[in-house]
Structure 1
Amino acid sequence: MSELGQYILNGLMLGIIYAMVAVGFTLFFGVLDVIQFSHGDVLMIGAFAGLATAIGMTMLDIGSPWLQLAAVVIAAIFVTGLLGAGIAKFLILPLRKAPPLNTLLATLMLGTVIREAVRLFYPDGSNPKPFPRLLPTNVIEIGGLAVRLDNLILLVAGAAAIVGVHLLITRTRLGKAIRAVAQDGETARLMGINFEAVVLLTFALGSGMAALAGVMNGLYYNEINFNVGLLLGVIGFAAAILGGLGNIYGAIIGGFLFAALQVLGSAALPALVPDIPSAYKDVFAFAVVIILMAWKPTGLIAEKSSERV
């Protein structure tokens, strides 16, 4: 039971990170019907911005882990928020009337540019970087299950971020404006909504979520590298598609489902086939996702809008 609990905890932790990435894809698709394929690399920028902030604070002799953590999170969100808004302003919006494949290709190439720029220009950027341990690593016992306090804090923080975004979308004036633009951009303009400002804020919000996911990933594994966003971006996009692209609830469900498939693969594959290591968990998860997408092409929670379906 202790081992099962550990698998469940790992699945929840991964699911929170994947869901946060998937929510970003869903927000972007919701307001402009575009796939922002450099989203994973924006996540990576957030992680590296946080790392650079932590290093800078250490050089300034600011040794308090909580102050460093606050600065890391704020810097990561600020940098990626500006980057996300800039991508929307100078790349996505100018291509709004172009064929969707143009936007897809442009963001895909932008992701490569961002990734290679970090690899080439960040000091020793080709090699993995240790991410500072800024959270307490005490182990607490919960019903016979040993849980590290930092993992529990990350789990609660990730859940709070997702709930916060949900409340912002559903309970605030900005959220109403985002939903209006997602429903019908032209009508929203006629009703006096600043279309461009809403789009920029939405891209900043989604990119900020990616920054949090990147920092959480760094704190969880205590390591980041220049291509960390490549796999996380693909998984986040797969989770968004699996749950139903354009639906926040679907993105969350898709993220947790993908994490559950990974954990199941890492536990079941070595037990069923001893020659197959647990590293094949990604192959197993993606294979199952392909089958689910073939069975349910619109995602587990299809959009209500018949036009988009």
Structure 2
Amino acid sequence: MELGFLGQQLWNGVMLGTIYAMVAVGFTLFFGVLDVIKFSHGDVLTLGVFAALATLGGLSALGVESTAVRLVAATLAGVGGMALLGAGIARAFILPLREAPSFIVLLVTLMVGTVIREGIRLFYPGGSNPQSFPHLLPSGGIELGGVTLRFDSLILLAAGLGTICAVHLLITRTRLGLAIRAVAQDGETARVMGIDFTRVVLFTFALGSGLAALAGLINGLYYSEVNFGTGLMLGVIGFSAAVVGGLGNLYGAILGGFLFAALQMLAVVALPLASEYKDVVAFAAVIALIGLKPTGLIGERAYERV
């Protein structure tokens, strides 16, 4: 097997791992502060990408040709819009159901996600078909040991990893992060200590949803394509990554994301199977890992959450 092929798959694995980790971190944030699984997470990701796509279409119709302006506007529309939507979902559907059984919240968010996904399919022009995502980053690349490193991929990887590091620093090094960790550890005690519980929850859901939208944008720019079901698969993979890493543990979510991508690439490289089977192999391995260690690779303890 050629070293160039191995190197290319390794590079693909790093890119995919970054995207999966960003989605998984959102699930961990939601579970950390309210013990809920927000199953509309992947569909919010998709809506963020389509919001960015619609923004790009609107700018083109207005004659705006500046690539930088289009990229910034698309990012603000996608990430900013989904941050607001995430906070709105928390306010309208999740906070009022805090005392309800967890499966009620799961069911409600699942239905919200279905409404979003089907809304895109029905109301976005050609929403049932794959949509081409414009090239907004520099083209070209460099060759290293038979591996082609595209400039746009390098920029996307730096943006993804930088965002993950920024979220880590926010959670661990700021007063707001301290408030989030306090709510994750014991919401009632945090209230008594003067922390605005509702504001912290809404910010956390906004952060996780914006992070998912950015992951969707990176995915769209990397593959130059998006469809209304993109977030469904990314959401399932992100949730699986969060669980296998240790749901509620930030480091576990990141580890799980890269592990899932590594399993996919291992299936492509080591097994005599078509690449279409990589998800099957990865999910089977995740099932086995969860069976061996149900609490995740980085077992969560209450005071470690988020």
TM-score (norm 1): 0.96
1:31 CA drift (Å): 0.3
Identity, % of aligned positions: 66
> 2:164 is matched by which residue type in structure 1?
I
Answer whether contact 1:243 1:300 (CA < 8 A) is retained.
yes
For the residue of structure 2 that corresponds to 1:17, the secondary structure is: helix
1:56 CA drift (Å): 1.3
For the residue of structure 2 that corresponds to 1:28, the secondary structure is: helix
In structure 2, what is the equivalent of residue 256 of structure 1? Answer: 258
1:305 CA drift (Å): 2.2
In structure 2, what is the equivalent of residue 298 of structure 1? Answer: 295
In structure 2, what is the equivalent of residue 50 of structure 1? Answer: 52
1:268 aligns with 2:265: no
Unaligned runs of at least 5 residues, structure 1:
271-275
- Say which of 245, 262, 285 aligns to 1:288: 285
Q: CA–CA distance in 1 between the matches of 2:16 and 2:144?
A: 20
Q: What aligned pairs does 1:72-111 form with structure 2 within 5 A after superposition?
A: 72-111=74-113
In structure 1, what is the equivalent of residue 216 of structure 2? Answer: 214
Q: What aligned pairs does 1:28-39 form with structure 2 within 5 A after superposition?
A: 28-39=30-41
For the residue of structure 2 that corresponds to 1:124, the secondary structure is: coil
- Say which of 127, 138, 141 aligns to 1:139: 141
1:54 CA drift (Å): 1.1
Unaligned runs of at least 5 residues, structure 2:
none
Name segments (4+ residues, structure 1) moved above 3 Å. Answer: none
For the residue of structure 1 that corresponds to 2:301, the secondary structure is: coil
In structure 2, what is the equivalent of residue 245 of structure 1? Answer: 247
Q: CA–CA distance in 2 between the matches of 1:156 and 1:219?
A: 13
Q: CA–CA distance in 2 between the matches of 1:141 and 1:70?
A: 29
1:268 CA drift (Å): 2.4
> 2:53 is matched by which residue type in structure 1?
L
1:267 CA drift (Å): 2.0
1:126 aligns with 2:128: yes
Q: CA–CA distance in 1 between the matches of 2:47 and 2:176?
A: 26
Per-residue deviation, residues 60-99 of structure 1 (Å, max 9, x unmatched)? 2211222211111111111101110011000000110000
Answer whether contact 2:249 2:304 (CA < 8 A) is retained.
no
In structure 2, what is the equivalent of residue 273 of structure 1? Answer: none
TM-score (norm 2): 0.97
In structure 2, what is the equivalent of residue 195 of structure 1? Answer: 197
1:173 aligns with 2:178: no
1:141 CA drift (Å): 2.2
Q: CA–CA distance in 2 between the matches of 1:155 and 1:33?
A: 30
Answer whether contact 1:269 1:278 (CA < 8 A) is retained.
no
Answer whether contact 1:16 1:159 (CA < 8 A) is retained.
yes
Answer whether contact 1:51 1:131 (CA < 8 A) is retained.
yes
Q: CA–CA distance in 2 between the matches of 1:282 and 1:230?
A: 14
